[in-house]
Copies of this chain bind each other. A is one copy, B any other.
Amino acid sequence: MAFPTARHDHSACIQAALDAAEQECRRRGARLTDTRRIVLELVWESHRPVGAYALLESLGKLGRSAAPPTVYRALDFLLAHGLIHRVASRNGFIGCPHPGHAHGGQILLCTQCGMAAELDDPALDQEIVNSAARLGFSVNRQTIEVEGLCPVCRAQRNSEEEQNYVA
Contacts and interface: CB of A to CB of B under 8 A. Distances in A.
B154 A132 contact: no
Interface residues of A, number: 34
A144 B128 contact: yes
B137 A148 contact: yes
Contacts of A135: 2-3, 108, 117, 119, 151
Contact residues of A: prevailing secondary structure: mixed
Contacts of A147: 139-143
Nearest to A107: B143
B139 A3 contact: no
Nearest to A131: B121
A117 B119 CA distance: 25
A136 B154 contact: yes
